[in-house]
Amino acid sequence: MPRPIAVCSLWISLIALASFGCSHGNSVPALPEVRVALPLDAITWHPVRLAQTRYASEEGIAITISNVAGLSKGMEALLGGSVDVTPGGLTQAIQVAAEGRDVRCFLVMYSRPTLSLVVAPAMLGKIRTITDLKGRRVGVSSPGSPTHQFLNFLLVSHGLSPADVGVVSVGSSATSIAALEHGKIEAAVLVASAITTFERRYPKAALLADTRTEEGARQVFGVATIPMSGLDSREEWLRTNPDTARRFVRAVKKAMQWMATHSAEEVRRSIPETLRMPDAEADLEAIRQAQGTISPDGIVPADAPETIRKYLAVSSERVRNAHLDLSKVYTNEFASAK
């Protein structure tokens, strides 16, 4: 039979061990966090939201999303250090590189943009070609935006100058369609589900340019693949957080694969209800079009940076005059990692 002192010592040891175990068990290390700025485009950037809800914990990371008004606001947040990742891709990376900033596109999400230059219903038959836009009012989401860059590129490609049209800021989605319907503008560059909504309302709609198909992209850019949409980060963050970046890319690529292989109806159900278009069929058609352009591997093609640099140079004097090392505006290190 143990002595009283020995029993007391044993209980003290057990209590100490139990206390240590509880304390040790409660101090769970925090998962590496990736802070992402995300525009409220329900379909285009949906793989990032899916990565947050479905695959982040599987990859051992936490993804925190901050909603921003657009790509430019996302880049401001990235450069300001309040987020680690922002959508933008090669276009954004090249633009800020021309300003002397070290930002890299590290994952391609789509092989071509979903943009269309459409004619207002009242101008059907009066505007048949891009050259007919001279002297007309044309809507873009905002000055300097990707829709504005697209318009400028189309104008210059058809022998016009950006100054030959009156550019009107009409926002995106419902507001851009309303501007077309109410005669505020005579043509506009629409994006993603706004295109399908417009087409459903106006089956005879005239599209002067449409990059949603390979043939349409080839007619506009001369190539079928032009990966404008992707994810960007500061070179410093990628260099100091390589493992976290790899885990994040794996999560987003899994989400891209899920979106590409599931029905449009399933994808739409996975989108937060507040971000869905009221017209369900327009949403579904936009999802199908996005599914057809999802990058199979996330890799930046070797010729893409120069193609996009030329595209941006039409609108940006800074890009035209910059001496850029295009090898520094992207990296395939993380997209190609297993």
pLDDT at 6: 43
Distance, in Å, from the CA atom of 42 to the CA atom of 253, rounded to the nearest integer, reads 17
Q: State mean pLDDT over 325-338.
A: 94
Helix (H, G, I), strand (E, B) or coil at 9: helix
pLDDT digits (tens, 9 = 90+) for 98-123: 999 999 999 999 999 889 999 999 99
Identify which has the larger pLDDT, 330 or 144.
330
**Between the CA of residue 94 and those of 45, 60, 104, 226, what are the distances in Å?**
20, 31, 8, 14
Distance, in Å, from the CA atom of 198 to the CA atom of 193, rounded to the nearest integer, reads 9
pLDDT of 2 higher than 50? no
pLDDT at 28: 60
pLDDT digits (tens, 9 = 90+) for 17-62: 444 444 444 556 789 999 999 987 788 899 999 999 999 999 999 9
| Residue from 164, 215, 72, 197 nearest 151 by CA | 164
pLDDT of 187 higher than 70? yes
pLDDT at 246: 98
188 touches 176 (CB < 8 A): yes
pLDDT of 325 higher than 60? yes
123 touches 204 (CB < 8 A): no
Helix (H, G, I), strand (E, B) or coil at 27: coil
Architecture in CATH of 115-210: 3-Layer(aba) Sandwich (3.40)
pLDDT digits (tens, 9 = 90+) for 123-177: 999 999 999 999 999 999 888 788 999 999 999 999 999 999 999 999 877 889 9
Look up residue 116 and give its two tokens.
Answer: 């269309």
Helix (H, G, I), strand (E, B) or coil at 146: helix
Q: Where are the domains of the chain?
A: 33-112+226-328, 115-210
User: Is the fold of 33-112+226-328 the same as that of 115-210?
Assistant: yes
Look up residue 126 and give its two tokens.
Answer: 């009066």
**Between the CA of residue 61 and those of 33, 53, 246, 279, what are the distances in Å?**
6, 11, 10, 35
Residue labelled with tokens 């058609």: 285
Look up residue 270 and give its two tokens.
Answer: 């996975």
* Cβ neighbours of residue 294 closer than 8 Å, sequence gap 6 or more: 47, 109, 110, 111, 256, 259, 260
153 touches 312 (CB < 8 A): no
Helix (H, G, I), strand (E, B) or coil at 62: strand
**Between the CA of residue 10 and those of 4, 5, 7, 52, what are the distances in Å?**
10, 9, 5, 48
pLDDT of 251 higher than 60? yes
Q: State mean pLDDT over 269-286.
A: 87
Neighbours of 145 (CB within 10 A): 19
Q: Which residues pair with 210 in a beta bridge?
A: 116
pLDDT digits (tens, 9 = 90+) for 289-321: 899 999 999 999 998 999 999 999 988 899 999
Neighbours of 239 (CB within 10 A): 13
Q: State mean pLDDT over 65-84.
A: 91
CATH code of domain 33-112+226-328: 3.40.190.10
197 touches 177 (CB < 8 A): yes
pLDDT digits (tens, 9 = 90+) for 194-231: 898 899 999 999 999 999 888 999 999 988 888 888 99
pLDDT at 9: 44
Helix (H, G, I), strand (E, B) or coil at 40: coil
User: Residue 5's pLDDT band (boundaries 50, 70, 90)?
Assistant: very low
pTM above 0.75, yes or no: yes
Q: ∠ CA 51-55-61 to the nearest 5 degrees?
A: 90
pLDDT of 85 higher than 80? yes
279 touches 201 (CB < 8 A): no
| Residue from 175, 218, 194, 203 nearest 290 by CA | 194
pLDDT at 234: 98
